[in-house]
């Protein structure tokens, strides 16, 4: 199935990302080995110039990764027509064992490249580039991710055979099935609602404490809770939030809400969730760099800013989930 | 404050692009052309798909054909009462259709016997359909009427299977709106159809089965197949799947053939971005001397790429839209439509969505931007003193 226009676009896009990261990593290895801020040799000057190139490359990589993630979901959704039994993106992801892993790796590499840009941003705030080695080691970590993403994607599309009967979302997320996705859907709604909203309250309170006091305990705690909240939110989307969006007690698909039929509500929903979780987790991660003298005051300011962004994004996310619950006539009370 | 900085850099970029009009217009023209071609292929194949889906929505869930030695055969109407007995089947209707080769204009017509389901949507008809038992009358498609210079109240002559001429009085002509479906169509009564093609009584081309609950279609198809092993049940979903795969495959094929041009364009973009003129180098040198940082120059280059690619993208996609939906895709239609002598001359319903736009962006803007990253960085690390010394 490699001749589908969406597949061609994805394979070209991921190939370009792979090339960019490959080039950046090759240069990164040189920086890890040869970097010496005190030296004024020609090589050091050259390396300092190369840092600009690498940060530009990673920034574009992130941009392309975002486009390619949505394109991947869209292509999966578009392909459900040619797969017997598949009714939406979930069915196409499920058509062979590489679909979901490819999606997961895409999300992870999106997070990691965003984290790289965040670390780079902090590093550039200090005069002596204290994080430079750590930064380029992180870059070397992106390379295998992008590579496996490329391979998984190609395996997935090669493996999609238009005649295979796949389980569509109606089967995959139905309560009787086995596997992670279906066990999420079968989580009883009431406990899930309670966990979701109480965790949201904890996230908001801890976020506000980070903004106000900024002690080490709060930031680490906030980062942890943000991470957990991300997972709980995805589980809640599958378990009950999607039901309200589709107004159907049996439709658990997390991808359909990206479609025009549901007014593209998935985009602001997932965007705010990703933003919140990313900035929430990053406030805790950069706590590790606070001991570096040239960074400690900068990090304090950045932590407050990022915690604020995270809290606002999470609030927006929950507000979006509440819109159909409050304003649409659908109710889960009978279930 | 910081937003203003970006605006100022963008403002400067636009000024500097305008100063080098000819070089940039050259890139924009080529880029626009690339986007126009790619966009046309995508828009056309997706609107064909959409059109096919809309048409198939009203087709029966299940069609039963008889096969003999692997070929499509006439089906005895008698088995429809057997099929009716299967629980879940709400209606079985025999269909009579076929092709007629007209040696006068060297084209094939699609001949259809009027049945119940046809008379339901005769809004698309100027005049009326022949009645089920009304002999020697026909309703024809616009393509047929234009090819044979026919109007209502004139007659068309066809040759029966036995070689005798048969005249049909035209009672109606299908409107242009339905041209995709009806351009080469001739609707006649059932009795005339049997006479024209010499089909034995109690035989039909195929059977259309209506199923009350669509999710049961597969089970019913299986039951029919086990009861009548010489038949071939065709599900509507299978037809949809095939259309989808065929259009996806065809447009993918054209895009692949076209990739050579895309690569040529990327090489051009790389070359243009690498070959900085002395004037441009001097400009960057001066900028750096008056306090611009490397990251500012990089941002300027980013804006430059964005302005060029978005301008080309918008022009290209608007041109593609006009080409497909106003001029009927004159360049690509033959490759995607298939072949026939009486081409339906139709206007496609405009259909464009985020998906096509994001495919188009990944195919064109992403390679362009990626190919200019390294040249822009090379430009941005220019040392002011070296440049100004010449």
How do residues A120-159 score in pLDDT, each as one tens digit?
Answer: 899 888 888 888 888 888 889 899 999 999 999 999 888 8
User: Rounded CA gap, B292 and B286, in Å?
Assistant: 9
CB crowding A152-177: b at 16 or more within 10 Å, else e:
bbbbbbeebebeeebbbbbbbbeeee
The yes-or-no verdict on residue B230 having pLDDT over 70 is: yes
All residues at 6 or more sequence positions from B322 whose CB lies less than 8 Å from its CB, including other chains: none
Write down the pLDDT at residue A324.
87
Alpha-helical (H) ranges within chain B are 2-19, 21-57, 79-84, 116-119, 142-147, 179-182, 190-197, 217-227, 236-274, 278-289, 294-325, 333-337, 354-380, 384-389
Q: Hey, are the CB atoms on A81 and B359 less than 8 Å from each other?
A: no
The yes-or-no verdict on residue B294 having pLDDT over 50 is: yes
Q: What is the pLDDT of residues A99-108, one digit of tens each?
A: 889 999 999 9
Alpha-carbon torsion, ordered A166, A169, A170, A171, to 10 deg? 50
Furthest CA-CA distance within chain A: 74
Nearest to B105 by CA among B136, B165, B140, B145: B145
- Residue B87 tokens, joined: 């629980």
Confidence of residue A227 (pLDDT cuts 50, 70, 90): very high
The yes-or-no verdict on residue B213 having pLDDT over 70 is: yes
The yes-or-no verdict on residue A169 having pLDDT over 70 is: no
Write down the pLDDT at residue A165.
45
How far out from the chain centre does Cα A8 lie?
A: 23
Cβ proximity of A278 and A223 under 8 Å: no
B269 contact A CB<8A: no
User: Rounded CA gap, A20 and B37, in Å?
Assistant: 27
User: Rounded CA gap, A239 and A253, in Å?
Assistant: 9
User: Rounded CA gap, A7 and A71, in Å?
Assistant: 9
Q: Hey, are the CB atoms on A12 and B367 less than 8 Å from each other?
A: yes
In percent, the amount of chain A with pLDDT more than 90 equals 35
Q: Packing angle between helix B294-325 and helix B278-289, nearest 10 degrees?
A: 130
Cβ proximity of B193 and B133 under 8 Å: no
Average pLDDT score over chain A: 85
Interface test with chain B among A4, A5, A82, A255, by most B beta carbons within 10 Å: A5
Lowest-pLDDT range, A260-264, A292-296, B125-129? Answer: B125-129
Contact residues on chain B for A13, CB-CB shorter than 8 A:
362, 366
Domain boundaries, chain A: 1-170, 173-335
User: Rounded CA gap, A42 and A218, in Å?
Assistant: 45
Query: Residue B355 is nearest to which of A16, A52, A78, comparing CB atoms?
Result: A78
Confidence of residue A176 (pLDDT cuts 50, 70, 90): very low
Write down the pLDDT at residue A270.
93
The yes-or-no verdict on residue B308 having pLDDT over 70 is: yes
Confidence of residue A197 (pLDDT cuts 50, 70, 90): very high
Lowest-pLDDT range, B75-79, B196-200, B242-246? Answer: B242-246
Confidence of residue B75 (pLDDT cuts 50, 70, 90): very high
Write down the pLDDT at residue B179.
67
Q: Which residue of B has its CA nearest to A60?
A: B370
- How near does any CA of chain B get to the CA of A259, in Å? 9
Confidence of residue B343 (pLDDT cuts 50, 70, 90): low
User: How many residues does the structure list for chain A?
Assistant: 335
Write down the pLDDT at residue A177.
44
Query: Residue B245 is nearest to which of A16, A70, A162, comparing CB atoms?
Result: A162
Write down the pLDDT at residue A19.
93
Write down the pLDDT at residue A170.
40
Write down the pLDDT at residue B147.
85
Of the CA atoms within 13 Å of residue B71, those in its CB half-sphere come to 3
Q: Which residue of A has its CA nearest to B355?
A: A74
Q: Which residue of A has its CA nearest to B241?
A: A82
Label each residue of chain A as H, E or C: CCCCHHHHHHHHHHHHHHHHHHHHHHHHHHHHHHCCCCCCCHHHHHHHHHHHHHHHHHHHHHHHHHHHHHHHHHHHHHHHHHCCCCCCHHHHHCCCCCHHHHHHHHHHHHHHHHHHHHHHHHHHHCCCCCCHHHHHHHHHHHHHHHHHHHHHHHHHHHHCCCCCCCCCHHHHCCCCCCCHHHHHHCCCHHHHHHHHHHHHHHHHHHHHHHHHCCCHHHHHHHHHHHHHHHHHHHHHHHHHHHHHHHCCCCCCCCCHHHCHHHCCCHHHHHHHHHHHHHHHHHHHHHHHHCCCCCCHHHHHHHHHHHHHHHHHHHHHHHHHHHHHHHHCCCCCCCC
In percent, the amount of chain B with pLDDT more than 70 equals 92
B52 contact A CB<8A: no
Lowest-pLDDT range, A63-72, A228-237, B86-95, B275-284? Answer: B275-284
Write down the pLDDT at residue B173.
87
Q: Hey, are the CB atoms on B358 and A71 less than 8 Å from each other?
A: yes
Write down the pLDDT at residue B333.
67
What one-character DSSP code corresponds to residue B338? Answer: -
Q: What is the pLDDT of residues B92-122, one digit of tens each?
A: 999 999 999 888 888 888 898 887 656 545 5
Write down the pLDDT at residue B220.
87
Cβ proximity of A5 and B252 under 8 Å: yes
All residues at 6 or more sequence positions from A225 whose CB lies less than 8 Å from its CB, including other chains: A199, A202, A203, A206, A280
Q: What are phi and psi of B101, to 5 degrees?
A: -90, 120
User: Rounded CA gap, A114 and A10, in Å?
Assistant: 20
In this structure, are strands B165-174 and B155-159 parallel, antiparallel, or unpaired? Answer: antiparallel
Query: Residue B373 is nearest to which of A8, A49, A60, comparing CB atoms?
Result: A60
- How near does any CA of chain A get to the CA of B43, in Å? 11
**Region A305-310 average pLDDT:** 94
Tell me how many residue pairs between chain A and chain B have CB atoms under 8 A apart.
98
All residues at 6 or more sequence positions from B253 whose CB lies less than 8 Å from its CB, including other chains: A3
Write down the pLDDT at residue A213.
83
The yes-or-no verdict on residue A229 having pLDDT over 50 is: yes
The yes-or-no verdict on residue A178 having pLDDT over 90 is: no
User: Rounded CA gap, A150 and A311, in Å?
Assistant: 34
In percent, the amount of chain A with pLDDT more than 70 equals 90
- Residue A34 tokens, joined: 């040869």
Cβ proximity of B112 and B206 under 8 Å: no
Average pLDDT score over chain B: 84
pLDDT top residue among A39 and A85: A39
Q: Which residue of A has its CA nearest to B298?
A: A56
**Region A258-262 average pLDDT:** 81
Of A121-130, A297-306, B246-255, highest mean pLDDT: A297-306
The yes-or-no verdict on residue A74 having pLDDT over 70 is: yes
Q: What is the pLDDT of residues A36-66, one digit of tens each?
A: 888 888 888 888 888 889 988 998 998 899 8
Lowest-pLDDT range, B1-10, B56-65, B148-157, B174-183? Answer: B174-183
Evaluate the CA torsion angle B144, B145, B150, B156 in order and state its sign: positive
Confidence of residue A171 (pLDDT cuts 50, 70, 90): very low
Write down the pLDDT at residue B388.
73
Cβ proximity of A102 and A152 under 8 Å: yes
Write down the pLDDT at residue A207.
93
User: Taking the CA atoms of chain B, what radius of gyration do you get in angstroms?
Assistant: 30
What one-character DSSP code corresponds to residue B140? Answer: E
Write down the pLDDT at residue B241.
78
């Amino acid at each position: 199935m490699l001749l589908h226009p969406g597949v061609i676009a994805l394979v070209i896009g991921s190939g370009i990302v792979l090339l960019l990261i490959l080039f950046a990593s090759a240069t990164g290895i040189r920086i890890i080995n040869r970097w010496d801020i005190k030296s004024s040799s020609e090589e050091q000057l050259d390396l300092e110039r190369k840092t600009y190139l690498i940060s530009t490359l990673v920034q574009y990589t992130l941009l392309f990764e975002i486009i390619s993630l949505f394109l991947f979901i869209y292509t999966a959704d578009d392909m459900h027509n040619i797969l017997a039994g598949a009714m939406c993106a979930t069915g196409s992801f499920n058509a062979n064992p590489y679909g979901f892993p490819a999606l997961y790796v895409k999300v992870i590499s999106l997070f990691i490249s965003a984290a790289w840009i965040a670390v780079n941003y902090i590093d550039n705030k200090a005069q002596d580039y204290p994080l430079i080695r750590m930064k380029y080691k992180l870059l070397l970590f992106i390379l295998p991710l992008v590579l496996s993403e490329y391979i998984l994607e190609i395996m997935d599309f090669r493996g999609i055979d238009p005649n295979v009967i796949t389980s569509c979302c109606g089967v995959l997320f139905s309560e009787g099935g086995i596997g992670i996705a279906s066990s999420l859907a079968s989580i009883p709604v009431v406990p899930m609602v309670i966990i979701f909203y109480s965790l949201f309250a904890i996230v908001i309170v801890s976020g506000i404490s980070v903004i106000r006091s900024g002690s080490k305990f709060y930031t680490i705690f906030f980062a942890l809770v943000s991470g957990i909240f991300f997972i709980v939110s995805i589980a809640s989307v599958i378990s009950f939030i999607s039901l309200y969006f589709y107004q159907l007690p049996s439709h658990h698909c997390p991808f359909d809400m990206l479609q025009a039929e549901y007014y593209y509500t998935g985009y602001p929903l997932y965007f705010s969730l990703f933003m919140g979780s990313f900035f929430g987790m990053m406030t805790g991660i950069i706590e590790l760099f606070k001991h570096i003298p040239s960074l400690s005051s900068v990090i304090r300011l950045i932590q407050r800013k990022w915690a604020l962004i995270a809290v606002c994004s999470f609030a927006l996310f929950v507000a979006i989930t509440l819109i159909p619950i409050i304003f649409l006539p659908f109710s889960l009370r009978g279930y | 404050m910081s937003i203003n900085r970006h605006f100022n850099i963008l403002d400067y970029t636009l000024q500097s692009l305008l100063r080098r009009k000819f070089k940039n217009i050259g890139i924009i023209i080529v880029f626009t052309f690339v986007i126009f071609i790619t966009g046309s292929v995508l828009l056309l194949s997706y609107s064909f798909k959409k059109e096919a889906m809309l048409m198939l929505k009203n087709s029966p869930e299940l069609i039963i054909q008889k096969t003999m030695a692997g070929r499509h055969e006439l089906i005895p109407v008698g088995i429809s009462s057997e099929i009716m007995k299967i629980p879940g089947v709400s209606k079985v209707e025999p269909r009579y259709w076929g092709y007629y080769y007209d040696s006068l204009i060297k084209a094939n017509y699609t001949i259809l016997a009027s049945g119940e389901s046809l008379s339901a949507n005769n809004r698309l008809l100027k005049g009326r359909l022949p009645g089920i038992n009304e002999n020697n009358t026909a309703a024809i498609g616009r393509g047929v009427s234009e090819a044979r210079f026919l109007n209502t109240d004139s007659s068309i002559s066809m040759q029966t299977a036995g070689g005798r001429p048969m005249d049909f009085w035209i009672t109606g002509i299908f409107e242009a709106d339905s041209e995709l479906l009806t351009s080469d169509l001739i609707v006649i009564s059932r009795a005339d159809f049997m006479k024209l093609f010499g089909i034995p009584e109690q035989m039909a081309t195929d059977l259309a089965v209506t199923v009350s609950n669509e999710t049961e279609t597969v089970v019913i198809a299986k039951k029919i197949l086990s009861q009548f092993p010489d038949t071939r049940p065709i599900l509507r979903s299978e037809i949809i799947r095939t259309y989808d795969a065929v259009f996806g495959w065809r447009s993918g094929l054209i895009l692949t053939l076209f990739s050579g041009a895309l690569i040529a364009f990327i090489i051009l973009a790389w070359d243009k971005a690498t070959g900085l003129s002395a004037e441009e180098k001097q400009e960057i040198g001066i900028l750096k001397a008056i306090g611009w940082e490397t990251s500012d120059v990089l941002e300027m280059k980013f804006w430059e790429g964005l302005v060029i690619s978005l301008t080309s993208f918008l022009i290209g996609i608007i041109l593609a839209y006009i080409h497909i939906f106003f001029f009927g895709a004159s360049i690509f239609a033959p490759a995607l439509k298939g072949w026939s002598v009486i081409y339906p001359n139709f206007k496609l319903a405009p259909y464009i969505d985020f998906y096509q736009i994001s495919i188009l962006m990944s195919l064109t803007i992403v390679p362009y931007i990626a190919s200019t990253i390294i040249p822009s960085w090379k430009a941005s690390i220019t040392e002011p003193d070296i440049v100004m010394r010449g």
